């Protein structure tokens, strides 16, 4: 019977120790558009064309960093983020990891994809960690702004 109090004390100390760890977040947003996969992917599929459609990105430049191709994004507020494409499914998706950003976010990985169907589903999923719970809203706002811009561009066609 003395094992339970010891276990409880150990459990309590572990819980206290983990309270300072960053929380894990997943943001998943999507839109459906009456459009074809090639038409949409031509607009959004190039890794560095994000500055053509995302309202928060003023420029994108491709660079080689540590032997890998990365995109350097400059936001509309002048901040810079460096992202590396880590996977791609031709004409359907790409996945990227943020290498450097001014935001207090760690292990940021996201996938932008299109899924054919009666209507085309455009999905953006981001996974990340942060000690700042407000970062979830920041990522949600950024993804929703991008998807809204895509929707507006496609509505004009």
Domains and CATH numbers, the chain: 24-155 (3.30.530.20)
Instruction: Work out the pLDDT band at 3, boundaries 50, 70, 90.
Output: very low
pLDDT digits (tens, 9 = 90+) for 88-109: 999 999 999 999 999 999 999 9
For 76, other C-beta atoms within 10 Å of its C-beta total 11
Rounded to whole angstroms, the Cα distance separating 92 from 32 reads 15
pTM: 0.84
Sign of CA dihedral 69, 142, 136, 122: negative
Report the run of H or E that residue 31 belongs to, with start and end. Answer: strand 23-33
Q: Which two tokens stand for residue 42?
A: 């031509």
């Amino acid at each position: 019977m003395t094992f339970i109090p010891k276990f409880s004390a150990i459990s309590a100390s572990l819980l206290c120790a983990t309270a300072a760890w960053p929380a894990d977040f997943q943001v998943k947003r999507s839109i459906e558009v009456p459009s074809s996969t090639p038409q949409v992917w031509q607009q959004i599929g190039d890794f560095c064309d994000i500055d053509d459609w995302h309202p928060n990105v003023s420029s994108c430049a491709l660079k080689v960093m540590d032997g890998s191709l990365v995109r350097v994004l400059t936001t509309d507020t002048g901040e810079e983020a460096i992202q590396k494409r880590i996977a791609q499914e031709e004409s359907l998706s790409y996945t990227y990891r943020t290498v450097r950003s001014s935001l207090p976010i760690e292990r940021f990985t996201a996938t932008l994809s299109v899924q054919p169907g009666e209507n085309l589903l455009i999905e953006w999923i981001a996974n990340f960690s942060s000690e700042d719970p407000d970062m979830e809203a920041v990522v949600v706002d950024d993804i929703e702004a991008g998807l809204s811009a895509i929707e507006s561009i496609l509505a004009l066609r």
